[in-house]
Chains A and B, each alone.
Chain A
Amino acid sequence: MAEDPRNPVTVPPGRPTLIAPGHTFGSVTDKISSIVLTRRTPLFWFVPFLIASGLLMVFLAAVAYLLVRGVGIWGIKVPVMWGWAITNFVWWIGIGHAGTLISAILLLLRQSWRNSINRFAEAMTLFAVACAGMFPLLHLGRPWLFYWFFPYPNSMNIQPQFRSPLIWDVFAVSTYATVSALFWFVGLIPDLATLRDRARNRWARATYGILAMGWRGAASHWQKYETASLLLAGLATPLVLSVHTVVSFDFTIAIVPGWHSTIFPPYFVAGAIYSGFAMVLVLAIPLRAMYGLEDLITMRHLDNMAKVMLATGEIVAYSYVFEAFIAWYSGNPFEMFAMWNRMTGPYAPTYWLLIFCNLVFPQLLWWKKIRTNIVWLFVMSLDVLLGMWLERYVIIVVSLSRDYVPSAWGYYWPTIWDVATYVGTIGLFFFLFFLFIRSMPMISIFEVRTLLPQAEVTEGVEK
């Protein structure tokens, strides 16, 4: 494009290169929107999408059978009444933390590097929460009565019991889902407008047009828009911290040894962010390769995310150590036994694998070499995801399997249906995610524009 002599493109010294040099407003816009507006879908999109759809079918089958027969098809039993279902719930919810965290907290902290990852991170959040939300419903003995969780005037004159953490969950998770969705959509509006204006096909234009709600980038709108984003960020920040706190209450409120612990809330939140960033990396690394987005999602982004993982990982590690210490220090025989049982009981292998995944292996992240090595990072992220799943499994199953009255001790083992339901939600997750990257800009175009050096107004405002 023809350069205006009045404002030459100059990179001010010291400005971080979050975007590879050489990009212009036009080029980033075209690059990102072309992923959506391109005529033919690339093969590397179809293959994973089909696999995900297959898993989704597995999920539907598992759920159908669950509804027909009852939760007995799972491995749950007295005393382990919660098995994989709740484990998966907590795991997914945890993953669902990264998105909002990136877009909200990093926004407040003015971390401009977030601009090129927040969009798909938020989408990831939404889909993770969607998967998570399934489990509390599916694990009910009579799922068709789920609406009794909500207060509404009814002919029985009976309402929910607000002392139960499960009710807190209902409110926390639904609020979180709603707010994340709003945040995500508000963020999308300007880009939807871009797509509307770039789309050739008239249906596409109409659709994006409706969704864009007539956004035209007016300065007065931009000003309110930025206020709104800040407000949403401000609201989402305490929310994102509260969600996993509330989820941890499911355990801390109970008197089960191994559950009843005050360290859980912070430790759960840290763990959530830990796994959340791991999932973002798991998605980002292949994406940037497939769509050649290395110049938008740079090594620096990956490095930063790895650092966040490392930090949260250390918090989690600290919690593990202190959990054990307090169990010993409390002198409560049941607590001591619960911890000892984790380490040496029938489920000990799970516990030690968890320690390796979450505590030992990630220490490699201290080395920049590892942090900046795509392969290592990817493996590391998968490892953390596994570790965080194991953590919930250990907390739930191992604690329940041996609690107060020894005569009632019993050991849980998953059935094929537990596995199918879990794998199924992974399918659902990627199914939704691939639909998203095909139909929506996976990187926030307008926010990336602001990262370009040209975005600076170079002449003083005062005359």
Chain B
Amino acid sequence: MKMPGKPYPHLDLAAIRARLASSRGRTYWRSLEELAESDGFQEMLEREFPRQAAEWPDDPAGRRQFLKVMGASLALAGLSACTRQPTETIMPYVRQPEAVIPGKPLFFATAVPHTAIAMGVLVESHLGRPTKVEGNPEHPASLGATDTLAQASVLDLYDPDRSQTLTYLGDIRPWSGFLGAAREALALQVPKAGAGLRFLTGATTSPTLADQFRTVLQKFPAAKWHRYEPIGRHATLTGARQAFGQPVHTYYQLANADVILSLDADFLGSGPAGVRYAADFASRRRVRGSQTAMNRLYVVESAATPTGAKADHRLPLRASDIEAFAAAVAAGVGAKGVDTSAGAAMTGGPHAKWIAALVKDLQQHPGASVVMPGIHQSPAVHVLAQAINIALGNVGKTVIHTDSLDPNPVDDFDSLHELVSDMEAGKVDMLVIVGGNPVYNAPVDFAFAQRMSKVKLRIHMGLYADETSEFCQWHIPEAHFLETWSDARGFDGTATIMQPLIMPLYFGRSVHELLAAFGDTPNQTPYEIVKGYWNRQHPGPDFEDWWRKAVHDGIVPNTALPARQVTFKGSAAAPAKATQAQGFEIVFRPDPHIFDGRFANNGWLQELPKPMTTLTWDNAAIISPRTAERLNLQNEDLVELEYRERKVRAPIWIQPGQPDDSVTVHLGFGRTRAGRVGNGVGFNAYLLRTSGAPFFDSGLEIVKLGSKFPLAMTQNQHLMEGRAIAISGNIEEYRTNPAFAKERAEEPPKELTLYPGFKYDGYAWGMAIDQTACVGCNACMIACQAENNISVVGKEQVLMRRAMHWIRVDSYYQGSLDNPEVLFQPLPCMQCENAPCELVCPVQATNHSSEGLNDMVYNRCVGTRYCSNNCPYKVRRFNFFLYADWNTPTLKMQRNPDVSVRSRGVMEKCTYCVQRINEAKIDAEKEGRSVRDGEIQTACQQVCPAQAIVFGDINDPSSRVSKLKAEKLNYSLLADLNTRPRTTYLAALRNPNPEIENS
């Protein structure tokens, strides 16, 4: 199979215009006037020589750049001018806080709320600047790891585009001004008990907030509190209500599961519990020596996801067919109280054997299996899944039911619909929107903006002055979660008290403050509010200590929700209607990185390659190869998607493993008021999304437009060309010949050399990467970016293959084009002992440390780029332009002070987070001991949910990394080149079901 790369020669003016028009990329890093200037420049360029578009990173900050260079050349002319440094000042504290030791970071526990569900984290703070998010090992949702969103959240904090002022009709107003206005408006509401008062928030699990709402609603009984999440737990909730008659919350204990069936659930590394699930899942797949037990994962899915890639058996099905599939399985396992008639279509169909084998497998593991429905699936699927789990006796063992995390949960679409109709009916005088962006992301059929205009007083609180605030009189900048006090619950109910790391940078207000304004104590600080609430929960003299401990640990003791016994009522759902496939199916998915669009202005997330497609800076209409052939579509072809008389234009991406006749579009793009990074990136799929079919529906038409739209991929070639790159095998293979990977890698013997090698006594750093564990979530890439001050380069530069990530996660396909087997391979610098890159550097800018690190000395590099040419793994990254931002103050605050910020013309690369190594070594030396195993964690290792990356001293035979490298599965990448990499891989293993294999 050929993954079509860039056509060659690739010259397409229209596309380049589109490209120029489409993306802003690095303008992020520049001030507005420069942005304007850059646009002019680009148009000029476009007129002059369109071919060149790609080679502008976006904004030639002409004059400044020029002066810079003149500076450089003058420095050269002016002899030692280049060696003399400008004068710096030091500004010490006036009164130094006790805890603070300048030069040493502090870590504070808090939580990252993901659709209000908490993941406990520890945030690194340098002299009061939060710079990096790490997982909180104590927290059930984290266990020390984190995900992409948590890593990127710190960049959101410093985003210069966040709204910075409280405004009324665009004019700046003081907080008191707002309070006054609010009071007046509320005064009118008092007589009618708040009948005209409406609140709209996103989902929430915050006990404090719930409590505040309770008081407010007591004061205004007729007021209503609506909740809307575009990517909410709609199906889960409705399914639960149907199944149990109450909003039961369900989560899974994959650590106890031998067989897992995912019904369109992308549970690995995404979603609020994704990190924990990935950890538990991987924990059951660690094949070591004679320990060859593995769990088995079946995935039935409507889009190519990392979870599907990890599956031992994957079945691509149109989203609408999954209900039938579930019914078939339910019938197979003899689930009670559900209508499984729809299953007949499947059991009679081509997948009959598959299903039979699956059912058998499930039944062989009662109480040790899990069936997970996807949040994008229909409620019916959820009901069926519950029924199957009950039938398999999984409840209480691998499937846990608890009370809802949200005290009184509501269905997103019902709730929003109610609000909309009230607004239409003119019942709403005062609407307070907190956090959400409904104007952008509400279902189109609600025509939210237009109906909202009927509301007299419209108040919006948000991190950004976004599409919604444009339609509101009042906009209140919201405080970032790292800037204020709050609390939230984890997926299992564990509550975390979120403490601020820094004063609000942009005078943001917390949602608690806002609600207080509607209560009787308008001037309470968030601290007082949150602490007050918890004090009421824990009265008594020991509260202070209790509070300190809870805040310090990042966990409120015994707040996890207890498991509940619930009785299955059977589904009230009508049996699935046979899907009449008129037209194509359209599937709406949140973007893996910018989610529902709220992170659209986050450069790290925009440039982070999406799993599988490695697409950056865009979304696409993803179709299967077969569909593409039928419609005669190529990658990057611009098409018009027409669905229920609504149209959007989208570029095509052909994704192997995508079910046929089904188009997956990612939500969250096409923002108009996201900020300089997010504006106009991609197309807005919400324009097709209706409340009737929020996640999928058939009836889509595709019209080819004939023009092209370039998509910036970081990987064009997903075939290994029969080379031993990412080696994989079956568990059976391993049992018969554990060393199969080593044999394929052809490692030459160490003696095979004319010259004596170098001795590495003392430490010898090395890394082992378990490809079986890696779930391809890309968290390592963004963690590395945050830790090592890696620049964002923008779409044009990614198109030029100049993305800067030091570690990348390659995905390779093998097998059939329609349902390929996918392998993930994280690729950091291999730290070769015989490094080809070092040999060719003319100025000794890269060479070996005494501990075997392949050092890169940025300040010595002159930029011949020879090292990159000679690197067989291509892990070196080059600053073709001045990528790093040397101007925006807030972005400087984010930087890790322990890592140099690279300048133009310099090569950079992974050095195993040498700053962390040095720190640990110094501490150890001072204590007169040697570094303990596990004391040093590289950023990529620390973030990895599946613990696929292990780093340590390979001279210490007892270290984890040594043990892994001793495994038979361990092999070196391109070993036959005799580069002697310090980073090695454990071959990927799968545990297929023989019955399906052989059929």
Contact = CB atoms under 8 A, between A and B. Distances in A.
Contacts of A75: 55, 800
A81 B723 CA distance: 23
Contacts of A71: 863, 880, 905
Contact of B870 (A167, A170, A255, A408): A255
A404 B877 CA distance: 17
B656 to A, nearest CB: 15
The CB with the most chain A CB atoms within 10 A, among B55, B69, B839, B881, is that of: B55
Contacts, number: 203
Nearest to B67: A68
B827 A407 contact: yes
A308 B689 CA distance: 74
A416 B49 contact: yes
Interface string B841-874: 1111001000000000000111111101110111
Interface stretch (B70-78, B141-149, B191-199, B549-557): B70-78
Interface string A401-440: 0011111111101011100000000000000000000000
Interface residues of B, number: 76
A321 interface: no
Contacts of A416: 49, 51-52
Given A161-B841, A333-B723, A148 B862 contact: yes
Nearest to A254: B870
Nearest to B868: A81
Contact of A141 (B9, B720, B905): B905
B884 to A, nearest CB: 12
Nearest to A142: B905
A233 B723 CA distance: 51
Contacts of A149: 842-843, 862
Interface residues of A, number: 61
A158 B844 contact: yes
B874 A405 contact: yes
B721 A161 contact: no
Contact of A67 (B49, B69, B801, B864): B69
B324 to A, nearest CB: 37
Given A78-B802, A407-B812, A141 B861 contact: yes
Interface string A109-146: 00000000000000000000000000000011111111
Contacts of B874: 78-79, 403-405, 408
The CB with the most chain A CB atoms within 10 A, among B8, B719, B722, is that of: B8
Nearest to B859: A156
A256 B870 contact: yes
Contact of A255 (B66, B836, B868, B973): B836
A73 B870 contact: no
A141 B869 contact: no
B628 interface: no
B5 interface: yes
B841 A79 contact: no
A164 interface: yes
B839 to A, nearest CB: 6
Interface string B801-838: 11000001011100000000000010100000000100
Contact of B869 (A148, A170, A254, A417): A254
Given A78-B874, A158-B844, A254-B870, A142 B839 contact: no
A407 B862 contact: no
A409 B861 CA distance: 25
A42 interface: no
A141 B904 contact: yes
A40 interface: no
Nearest to A170: B842
B811 to A, nearest CB: 8
A75 B799 CA distance: 11
B427 to A, nearest CB: 57
A74 B55 contact: yes
A334 B746 CA distance: 14
Interface in B897-917: 904-907
B715 interface: yes
Given A404-B873, A406-B719, A164 B55 contact: no
B800 A77 contact: yes
Contacts of B825: 407
B974 interface: yes
A409 B844 contact: no
A72 B804 CA distance: 13
A224 interface: no
B998 to A, nearest CB: 31
A399 to B, nearest CB: 9
A266 interface: no
B842 A166 contact: yes
The CB with the most chain A CB atoms within 10 A, among B9, B812, B882, is that of: B9
B467 to A, nearest CB: 34
A81 B721 contact: no
6 contacts: A81-B868, A141-B864, A145-B862, A149-B843, A161-B842, A254-B869
Given A161-B844, A254-B869, A403-B872, 12 more contacts: A140-B862, A160-B842, A161-B847, A254-B870, A333-B723, A337-B721, A404-B977, A406-B723, A406-B812, A407-B827, A408-B873, A409-B717
